[in-house]
Structure 1
Amino acid sequence: MLQKQAPAAFAAGVAAEGRIEGYGTVFDVPDLEGDIIAPGAFAASLERHRQAGSAPRLLWQHDPTQPIGRWVEVREDARGLRLTGQLALETQVGREAHALLKQGALDGLSLGFLIRRAESAGAGQRRILEAELLECSPVTFPCHPQARVLTVKTYPSYKEQNMTDLIEPALASLAADLATLKQRTDALDTAVRRAAVQPQGQFQGGDAPAHGIGRLLRALAGGRGDPARAAEFAAKTWNDGYTAKALAAGVGAAGGYLVPEIQAQEVIELLRKASAVRRLGPTLVPMPHGTLLMAKLTGGAQAEYLGENTAITPSVPSFGQVRLTARKLAALVPISNDLIRYSAPAADQVVRDDLVTALAEREDLAFLYGNPTGTGNDPKGIRHWVLPAQEIASSGATVAAMVADLANMVLALQEGKARMLRPAWIMAPRTLQALMAVRDGSGHFVFRPELQNGTLNGFPVATSLHIPTAPASEILLVDMADVLIGEATGLLIDASGEAAYPSGGSVIPAFGLDQTIIRCVTAHDLVLRHEAAVAVLTGVTWTP
């Protein structure tokens, strides 16, 4: 399930009675991940909700355990997906959300949905043509630069005002917002034009747009890990006051510099796109103290038929716990000092992508095939949570065998009483290409039409090079709603121009190669809340 932060321009703000209104997304405007929502993408999903008498959930920060009210109206208009919701002010979390929205301390909206159909939009972009809308949440850090509440007002009850009283303030506020937006657009245009005529290394756009984790890493590398020197480096080299302020916002820690949350969040968002497990929408939970206990139901109450004058046998549900313990993930990322000195924004992206790739590769391997017992340094990988009854041997490479094997995996989850909230497939790229090439007796592709839309048997598909292919491969089917990833500390980074690092059996000195080594440390853990939420197909020999 994707969780998309999109422009959340609240048209009517937050009313005293707890009513909120805004746009969960706008059409034909790409977000930072390059995804574009097409008009009509949610039309079929909204119709299914209408027929079922249901609505997308109104959650707090995508947490399925914290609903904060309900969306009373969800519709598509010419601009985007417009939502009107009612906060549950009778609950503590509803009141807290209401207070934060009124203050402007939180001003973003984020959609949670499953992609049904999508197409390439070129230049690393994807156009989403159809999606199943599951929920929409107020969030702290939206992915889209415009995902902010433009106006927040506290109105008296709608019953106490006529429409003129509501419309006139909204129009006046909208005019002020448009004027502010024009000023910012003009400032951005000026900064871009200045950058185009300045020599490299001498960017003068003091009103340039805010830079993310890539620029911050380059500054820390230039300051050799010292935030004060890094802030001075950013200000002098790029005239970048935004990065200098971000460096001042972070705090020193033993062994490094703790990246401010808003910059660290950029890495998390990119990891979701790079990591197969994160991309499929596991449940993310904060773990600020390094450990977290989560309850799980291990046995249910029993009922029975009785004869006359027969006592009822008492039975109660039984509960267990799963423990998340912070596992430290560290990466060394060599950066060319030439990239540190250049002012081109493309250099920021190179540095940032190197960091994300280093973290995502190792993290995905651990999440899939980590320590079998969970007692080592790695998390216990999803593969090792599989119960014996849900480990299925492949019956062959014929069309009939493939269809039967996939159906048996779904059946294994269902018979294991998995909740089937967000099931998803994880397989090797070779296996996916084999399914794409399968034809029936008439020469028609069996799986390709659905796979081109990103699903198989109705469930999303992700590939990972960490799934083994020799001597045979495997396919995992996982209910991602029961995959919990606990996020502990933020991103801790340090820099050195004198350190060395191993590569291909040799030790490479950074100083001699004019490089700076960035050391990145983060911490997290993965557990399955219910072991029955995963099945595996073994002995897969399907090839294109």
Structure 2
Amino acid sequence: MTILYAHLNIASIEETGVIAGIGATWAVNRNGFTTDPGAFAASIAQHRARGSMPAMLLHHDHQRPIGRWTDIEPKADGLHVVGKLARDTRDGAEAYNLVRAGALSGLSIGLGPGSNLKFVDERGEGNTRVRRYTQADLNEVSLVSVPADPDALVLTVAGLRSARDIEDMFRQANVSSRKAKAAATAAWRAIDATAEPNTENLKHILSAATRSLSRFHGDKK
């Protein structure tokens, strides 16, 4: 099996164990590998036809499944994955806690061997060797502790449990205590009134609010 350590962007991890991120980008990683955006198209289509998904593993260990990927889609910036950690299992609970703590901060894809694995060897920057995969079977996407991209952006949005969690987000963005508390209280009322808030929309709303409020943090009361 070929393993490609990739850029990680954990977009969200909710209290329910739902996790979303980018399993691979189309850039060359520090191991000299890259994949075409369409490299997994046939493999993903086959999974969907069978009603299956690539495995969700911990550190590429086939003896340590930690949940199930529910959606995998290639987009312009990379291979987007959404899944749910099995928090009622030992490994699933471990992975969840480590991600929440920021200690498990990488994603990595595992490609199946065989005739479906196709690639071309090219020369990249500084005449370095680059292997570009043009077609591959996507066997699994693992959570790992050391991704190959040293500049990988890790963005974790923990499940919100109270207005204090939102207030802390504002405070970290240098919003004044008074304004952070007022904004968090109003935001929590709106969130708490919704049975199933859209986490992705919520993340963008709070990020925009944080940027706006941070411009006016002169009062530290």
Instruction: Give the TM-score of the pair, scaled to structure 1.
Output: 0.30
2:24 match: 25
What is the rounded CA distance, in whole Å, between the counterparts of 1:174 and 1:62 in structure 2? 36
Match among 70, 74, 79 for residue 76 of structure 1: 74
**Which residue of structure 1 lines up, in the alignment, with residue 216 of structure 2?**
none
Letter in 2 for 1:35: F
Change (3 A) 1:131 1:175: farther
List aligned pairs for 1:90-489, cutoff 5 A.
Answer: 90-114=88-112, 116-122=117-123, 123=127, 124-155=129-160, 160-163=195-198, 166-170=200-204, 172-173=206-207
Q: Deviations over 1:360-413 (max 9, x none)?
A: xxxxxxxxxxxxxxxxxxxxxxxxxxxxxxxxxxxxxxxxxxxxxxxxxxxxxx
The corresponding residue for 1:45 is 43
The alpha-carbon deviation at position 147 of structure 1 amounts to: 3.6
Letter in 2 for 1:134: N
- Once the two structures are superposed, what CA deviation does each residue of 1:8-67 show, in whole Å capped at 9, x if it has no partner? 1012x210000000000012x100111111111100100111111110000111110111
- Name the structure 2 match of 1:307: none
- 2:73 alignment partner AA: R
Counterpart Cα distance in 2 of 1:173 and 1:118: 40
Alpha-carbon RMSD across the aligned residues, in angstroms, is: 2.5
CA apart distance, 1:175: 10
SS of corresponding position for 1:143: coil
Q: Deviations over 1:405-450 (max 9, x none)?
A: xxxxxxxxxxxxxxxxxxxxxxxxxxxxxxxxxxxxxxxxxxxxxx
- Conserved? CA contact 2:40–2:135, under 8 Å: yes
Matched residue count:
173
How far is 1:172 from its partner? Answer: 4.8
Tell whether the 8 Å contact from 2:73 to 2:80 is kept in structure 1 after alignment: yes
Consecutive aligned runs of 4 or more in structure 1 exceeding 3 Å deviation: 170-176
Say if 1:32 and 1:92 are closer, same or farther in 2 by CA, change over 3 A: same
Q: Distance in 2 between matches of 1:174 and 1:63?
A: 39
Q: Work out the CA distance in 1 between the residues paired with 2:56 and 2:209.
A: 29
Contact 1:5 1:147 in 2 (8 A): no
What is the distance in 2 between the residues matched to 1:19 and 1:174? 23
Equivalent-residue separation in structure 2 for 1:137 and 1:99 (angstroms): 16
Contact kept, 8 Å, 2:100 with 2:156, in 1: the verdict is: no
Specify whether residues 34 and 133 from structure 1 end up closer, same or farther in structure 2 by C-alpha distance, changes over 3 A only: same
TM-superposed deviation, 1:168? 3.8
Structure 2 spans left out of the alignment, 5+ residues: 162-190, 211-221
Aligned equivalents of 1:22, 1:10: Cα separation in 2 = 4
Q: Does the CA-based 8 Å contact 2:7-2:107 persist in structure 1?
A: yes
SS at match of 2:111: strand
What residue ranges of structure 1 are gaps of 5+ in the alignment? 177-544
Amino acid at match of 1:38: D
CA contact (8 A) 1:6 1:146 kept: no
- The CA deviation at 1:136 is 0.7
- Quick check: 1:15–1:153 contact (8 Å CA) kept in 2? yes
Q: Secondary structure at the match of 1:111?
A: strand
Helix, strand or coil at the partner of 1:48 = helix
Kept in 2, the 8 Å contact 1:56–1:133? The answer is: yes
Q: Does the C-alpha gap of structure 1 residues 23 and 175 become closer, same or farther in structure 2, counting only changes over 3 Å?
A: farther
Q: Cα 1:162–1:152, aligned 2, differ >3 Å: closer, same or farther? A: closer
Cα–Cα, structure 1 residues 168 and 86, in superposed 2: closer, same or farther, change >3 Å? closer
Distance change in 2, residues 1:99/1:70 (3 Å)? same
Q: Does structure 1 residue 86 correspond to structure 2 residue 84?
A: yes
Quote how far apart the aligned CAs of 1:173 are.
Answer: 4.3
Q: Which amino acid aligns with 2:149?
A: H
- Provide the rounded CA distance (Å) in 1 between the counterparts of 2:209 and 2:80: 20
Deviations 1:310-334 (A, max 9, x none): xxxxxxxxxxxxxxxxxxxxxxxxx
SS at match of 2:131: strand
Cα separation, 1, equivalents of 2:74 and 2:208: 20
**1:196-238 deviation digits (Å, cap 9, x = unpaired):** xxxxxxxxxxxxxxxxxxxxxxxxxxxxxxxxxxxxxxxxxxx
What residue identity is the alignment partner of 1:22? G
Which residue number in structure 2 is paired with residue 301 of structure 1?
A: none
**Is this contact kept in 2: 1:8–1:146, CA < 8 A?**
no
Q: After superposition, what is the alpha-carbon deviation per residue over 1:151-175, rounded to whole angstroms, capped at 9, x for unaligned?
A: 3322469x83333x64143465499
Q: Which has the larger radius of gyration?
A: 1
Counterpart residue identity of residue 129, structure 1: T
User: Are the equivalent residues in 1 in contact too, given 2:57–2:143 (CA < 8 A)?
Assistant: yes
Cα–Cα, structure 1 residues 34 and 67, in superposed 2: closer, same or farther, change >3 Å? same
Q: What residue number does 1:8 align with?
A: 8
